[in-house]
Amino acid sequence: MLFKNVWKTLGKKWMQLLAIAVIIVMSSLTYTMMFYGISGIEVPTEEYLEGANQEDFAVEMLNRVTEEEMRDPDVAALAGSGIFTLADIKPADESVFDRLIASRIEAVEEEMPDATIELRDLKAITYTLGDAEHRGLLVKESDTINRSYLEAGARPSTDEEVALNKTYAEENGIEIGDTIDLGQPFTVSGFVLFPDYTLPLFDDNLFNLDPGSQTLMLMTDESFESTIGQESFRLAGTSDSTIQTDLDLPFVVSVMETENIIRSGAVYSEISSGKAMALGLSLFIVSIAVIIVGILISNMLEAERGQIGLLKAIGYSRRQIAAPYLVLILIFAFFMLIAGYFLGLYFANPLKELYLEFYLLPSITIAQSPLVFLTAVFAPLLFFALVAGAVIYKLMGESALSLLSPRDNVSLNRLSRLVSRLLKRANGKTKFKYLYAVKSTGSFLIFFFGILFSTILIVFALMMNGAVDRMTVGGLNDAEYEYEAYTDGAPPIEEGQEPFLTYPFAFIDDQLITLKGLSDDNTLFRLQNESGDELVPETDGLIISSSLALKLGIEVGQDVDIELDEDTLTYPIIGIADDFSGDFAYLPRATLSELLSDGTTDELFNGVYALERPNESDYTTILSRQGLIEQSQSINQYMNLMMNVLIGGASLIAFSILFVLTALTVEKNYYVISLLKVMGYQKREVRSMILNSYFVYALGSALVSIPIALLTLRMVVVVFAEDYGIVLPLEFEWFYIVFTLGAVVLIFFLSTFISRRKIDHIPLQEVLKTYQE
């Protein structure tokens, strides 16, 4: 009978229970979805990376010969004829190239005797598939480190065969046995993965990783060598000992451990941070749910204290009375957690697939784990049992007589006293309004943290809006050229072409940068600062890209030292270009040409911006501006989806919290509302007095949360830029404040709609019943 009574009481509160159900379901859903989604890639990834012998570290090295290496007469002879990069030396004299690489490997091995070092030979190509320009990175098969992993089919056995990434093939409708044109026809023999490219990150641009328009490729060694493309080299290493990341060798640009290399190691931090986030996020949500359930039970029991007192008086034990409340609440929470678990399991697969759209990893079917089930369902259930049990037992502990008497008036909390002092000069109505929402410190804190949490997510999502665009295409949208082409020679500049000079081997504060020389009369690619003002390169000053400024933490007016070969040049920063696509420093082309040629010429160039596609025989690499923009679409869509999910999730949590708290407030203040109506306050005024303070507090909390969100995100940007070299171009616009507040207002009015109606329907006669606040 007692169960039936509690069941009916809970039934009357179905709206609040529904909102609480949303929060409880979200807590186990978040955990299960993220955990299974991540473990769906973690387990096969570990096996794959171990089996394919993923590098433990990579040595990025200069593509040009060093002064020391120039002492070799053969190298010096080649340099004398203008061949001084590894990419040029290899086809010119392979024995010299092999000697250079062997000496570099030897030099590294001397520093790290326990390490095994191997050359990683790569070649970037562009080709047309359908009507779109695609990028391929040919990877030469290695002997021991970073061996290819076959997902399906076979490795190429003839010079007319190629193996690709499976995701790329799927997105382009390519099957094994199909032929693709890479300048000449190749038959797809299979699908491969490379352990040093768990992300298809072919250049410095973090977000140019569209798996639908770029792929890793495996060919026979002969085909690799004969295919024309931009060749690059690095050293891959494995070692059981500590890796020396501070090698002081002239050809070494950087030594990075795999965990810190985005293309190969991002998946590790994705897995660990994903797991931490799964636990942290679900713990946060479940805490909110537990506290709200605690408040709901407390209110429910307070409303029934007379009835409980009567039961105690006629002989029911504390345990007998408490059991129905506790058991029914736990059954409710249990089913919601189970529902959340299975929803999480259901959504884990799309999440895993989403990961696999970008990460180049093998996939397995997600298998359920008892431990995840226990963590997602029974851990929060225990949490619920403890809190609900404590609340129930506290009230049940009172004597029957005390429960049968109206509750003695309770004293005010500190928050109420503070607000009361702040509103000393306000009228009674205003004081009433603002004191009601802070009557319970616990409820108010949940309310505040709920709004804070939602606001941070909304602000982050808004600031991320366009960030990917800024990183991927950034200045490309504003540029006037159609093609950017690179040459090893000096072809004649045709009409509609503007030459530029790049030198990717300079350093500022040990940061490898690309010096770029732009022509004075350059019109096809203009630099602009954040405000949209044009920046013109000057002889005695340096313009740097925003990403470089962020990484180095430097501003306009500061001096920087550029290391250029053996020279160190000091320049003041005269401008920061709104460009996040790489670490660039800009000078006039003539100045850079003179610097690189020791003053002999101001006419050097190694690339052009062009309106028409340049001749392929003159230019080794031709990049289409439109092609690059299109390549960024995929990651843009993905990021937009994630941002929308973020805003949606944040809104749902804020909605549920506001809904439950305002509904409970109305319920708890049934008699007060009735009293106000009896006194002559109109419905509109009563609604305002009971709920509008929440509105003001919600706006206030959101306003407080915005700077907190901005500070937090600013710290994240700086830490990522300075410690990891990853630039997140989060941008804040003033209208984001309006948008965030607008979102909070909308959530407030939607979530309090039911409460407003409930206030209107509270009868006047309620006040005549036994009144208790």
Partner 1 sequence: MIQLQNVNKIYKSGDVETAALKDIDLTIQDGAFVVILGPSGSGKSTLLNVISGLDTVTSGKITFKDTVLTDLSPEQMTTFRRDHLGFIFQQYNLLQNLTVYENVQIGSDLTKDPLSIDELLEQVGLAAARDKYPYQLSGGEQQRVSVARSLAKNPDIVFCDEPTGSLDEESSKKVLELLERLSETYEKTIVVITHNNGISEMADDVIKMNSGRITEVTHHDTRVAARDIHWG
Residue numbers at the binding site for partner 1 (CB under 8 A)? 406, 408-412, 416, 420, 427-429, 431-432, 435-436, 439, 671-672, 675, 677-683, 764-765, 767-768, 770-773
Secondary structure (3-state) at 220:
coil
Q: Are 556 and 603 in contact (CB under 8 A)?
A: no
Q: Which residues in 530-633 belong to E strands, given as ranges?
A: 534-535, 542-545, 559-564, 567-577, 584-588, 607-610, 621-624
Nearer to partner 1, 420 or 712 (CB): 420
> Smallest distance, Å, CB 429 to partner 1?
5
> Smallest distance, Å, CB 768 to partner 1?
6
> Smallest distance, Å, CB 296 to partner 1?
21
> Smallest distance, Å, CB 4 to partner 1?
21
| Residue type for position 642 | M
Question: Which residues have a Cβ under 8 Å from the Cβ of 713 and sit 6 or more positions away?
Answer: 459, 460, 463, 730
Nearer to partner 1, 290 or 767 (CB): 767
Nearest 5°: the CA angle 326, 330, 336 is: 155
Question: Which residues have a Cβ under 8 Å from the Cβ of 11 and sit 6 or more positions away?
Answer: none
**And the tokens for 38?**
């991540």
Nearer to partner 1, 654 or 664 (CB): 664
Nearer to partner 1, 128 or 772 (CB): 772
- In angstroms, the CA 569 to CA 564 distance is 7
Q: Are 217 and 229 in contact (CB under 8 A)?
A: no
Nearer to partner 1, 422 or 569 (CB): 422
Nearer to partner 1, 2 or 435 (CB): 435
> Smallest distance, Å, CB 696 to partner 1?
17
Nearer to partner 1, 157 or 765 (CB): 765
> Smallest distance, Å, CB 753 to partner 1?
21
- In angstroms, the CA 190 to CA 199 distance is 19
- At 586, give phi and psi (nearest 5°): -110, 140
> Smallest distance, Å, CB 763 to partner 1?
9
Nearest of 585, 581, 584, 576 to residue 632 by alpha carbon = 581
Nearer to partner 1, 92 or 764 (CB): 764
> Smallest distance, Å, CB 695 to partner 1?
19
Determine how many CB atoms are found less than 10 A away from the CB of residue 277: 14
Nearer to partner 1, 486 or 671 (CB): 671
Nearer to partner 1, 314 or 410 (CB): 410
DSSP helix, strand, coil percent of the chain (3-state; round to 5): 55, 15, 30
> Smallest distance, Å, CB 677 to partner 1?
7
> Smallest distance, Å, CB 762 to partner 1?
12
Nearest of 336, 251, 293 to residue 27 by alpha carbon = 336
Question: Which residues have a Cβ under 8 Å from the Cβ of 639 and sit 6 or more positions away?
Answer: 207, 464, 467, 468
Secondary structure (3-state) at 162:
strand
